[in-house]
Amino acid sequence: MPIQRLSPDLVNQIAAGEIIERPASVLKELLENALDAGARAIHIEVETGGARLIKVRDDGRGMDADDLLLAVESHATSKIAALADLEHIASLGFRGEALASIAVVSNLQITSRSAEADHALTLKAGLGEMPVPAPHPVGTSVEVRDLFHSVPARRKFLRAEKTELRHIQGLLRRIALGRPDVGFELLNNGKRLMHFPAQGDGLAANRIKDVLGDAFLKESLAIDVDAAGLRLSGWLGLPVAARGQADLQYVYLNGRMIRDRLVTQALRRAYADVLFKDRFPAYVLQLQIDPAQVDVNVHPTKHEVRFRESGLVFDFLHRQVARALSQGGASAEQPALA
């Protein structure tokens, strides 16, 4: 075949495939948008594990008619404007392609009302239509219907409802642990599966209890340290809470969930003296750092970041966690940490 330019439709399909893998990936994008919009309460409804419907309603700042039309265009965002903004991203999104990608692989409808507007507007994406008035309080509802209806190959790969729900619930746990100040509710086929009421800021033990259960809280110690422009807070599982796999490790960097090698290694090292080799530490940690000190523009979905001063971050995490574990261990009920 000679070289041809791909049609915009085809380009969009390929781009969408990179971001949208399954219902949980749609939900992640919608939840991040709601959080970026300053939502305090987020209501999620799915049908058949998200294959038929994924709906997210928030009470964030909402959108007006112009925003609504632009929101579903690719590379349109309200979160960055200039190259320099990439140097200090404080929002979860910034690429401006999630809604456009979702629109390519589903039937997408957005209903929104900004605080200044006297009524809400609703828009069906991709039909060349204009927004029309609709009832909705200040905030936004995004409805994603019939995911992958246009991509039979992808639709075939959707797993059983149960499996997709497991991914959805895993994602919601992860996001909810990072934002105890926001309330979350999840319904599948009209049945409430999860409910995490909004908590105060800070270490929010209640959110930990709601998401991970009492056991983890009883077997962990709180940490909150501030040094060299870095702040680390959250819960460190004691050795008794260690696990056979790395399935209870939640780390948030400036509110963004990350799975980063450097962070994982630093924590593993910090736990090395108190854990057997084949055990994995459990923790829920928030790391705050000047956004200019970290590059989050690495990959659209992978949770990697790049620290400008990686050695400093590594040492900080290692030292602070090791110290907290040795001090906490002495006062905890556990006889010894070793």
Whether residue 134 contacts residue 143, with contact meaning beta carbons closer than 8 Å, is answered with: no
- The DSSP element (H or E) to which 326 belongs, if any, is helix 310-331
Q: Which residues contact 139 (CB under 8 A, 6 or more apart)?
A: 37, 39, 57, 58, 59, 60, 61, 62, 112, 113
Q: 50 is in the binding site of which of ligand ADP, Mg ion, none (Cβ under 5 to 8 A by kind)?
A: none
DSSP 29: H
Q: Tell me if 106 contacts Mg ion by CB under 5 A.
A: no
Point out which span in 61-69, 121-129, 180-188, 301-309 binds ligand ADP (CB under 6 A): 61-69
Structure tokens at 335: 């006889």
Q: How many CB atoms lie within 10 A of CB 310?
A: 15
C-beta closer to Mg ion: residue 76 or 337: 76
Q: Nearest CA to 102 among 160, 131, 145, 45? A: 145
Q: 77 is in the binding site of which of Mg ion, ligand ADP, none (Cβ under 5 to 8 A by kind)?
A: ligand ADP
Radius of gyration, CA atoms only, the chain: 21
Q: Tell me if 60 contacts ligand ADP by CB under 6 A.
A: yes
Whether residue 125 contacts residue 103, with contact meaning beta carbons closer than 8 Å, is answered with: yes
The site that binds ligand ADP (CB under 6 A) totals a number of residues, namely 23
Site string for ligand ADP, 12-51 (x = CB under 6 A): -----------------x---xx--x--------------
Among 45, 97, 210, 260, binds ligand ADP (CB under 6 A): 97
64, amino acid identity = D
Q: Tell me if 242 contacts ligand ADP by CB under 6 A.
A: no
CA-based torsion, 318, 314, 236, 224: positive or negative: positive
C-beta closer to Mg ion: residue 77 or 111: 77
Structure tokens at 195: 């409910």
| Binding to Mg ion in span 22-61, by CB under 5 A | 33
- Separation of alpha carbons 77 and 62, rounded Å: 14
Q: Tell me if 234 contacts ligand ADP by CB under 6 A.
A: no
Q: Nearest CA to 291 among 255, 251, 249? A: 255
- The DSSP element (H or E) to which 203 belongs, if any, is none
Site string for ligand ADP, 102-131 (x = CB under 6 A): ------------------------------
Q: Phi and psi (nearest 5°) for 326?
A: -75, -40
C-beta closer to ligand ADP: residue 94 or 314: 94
Closest separation in Å from C-beta 291 to ligand ADP? 16
Whether residue 288 contacts residue 230, with contact meaning beta carbons closer than 8 Å, is answered with: yes
Among 24, 54, 98, 325, binds Mg ion (CB under 5 A): 98
C-beta closer to Mg ion: residue 68 or 241: 68
Site string for Mg ion, 277-316 (x = CB under 5 A): ----------------------------------------
Q: Tell me if 93 contacts Mg ion by CB under 5 A.
A: yes
Binding site for ligand ADP (CB under 6 A): 29, 33-34, 37, 58, 60-63, 67, 71, 77-79, 93-100, 140
Binding site for Mg ion (CB under 5 A): 33, 93, 98
